[in-house]
Amino acid sequence: MPDRYQKRQDADGLWEVVDVVSGEIAKLGGVLLSGLDHEAATGALDMLLNEILKANGPRTPPSDTE
């Protein structure tokens, strides 16, 4: 399953983190993740994905026996 959140570059050359399901800009701690430089967007995406892992536990790879 692909990640729900991805980063993308906007028309101004800045970066944002987007919820690929809704198409909306993601929030972290109530802050919209837009207008970021590449490094900040990468860090925000990592933090967001880590929060999801904490809440849901790590993904388990599919079994080869299925």
Percent of the chain with pLDDT over 90: 62
At 1 the pLDDT is: 45
Residue 66 pLDDT exceeds 60: no
Query: Is the model's pTM score more than 0.85?
Result: no
pLDDT band for position 50 (cuts 50, 70, 90): confident
At 5 the pLDDT is: 94
Residue-wise pLDDT tens digits, 6-37: 999 999 999 999 999 999 999 998 999 999 99
Measured between alpha carbons, how far is residue 2 from residues 19, 30, 49, 53 in Å? 12, 24, 12, 14
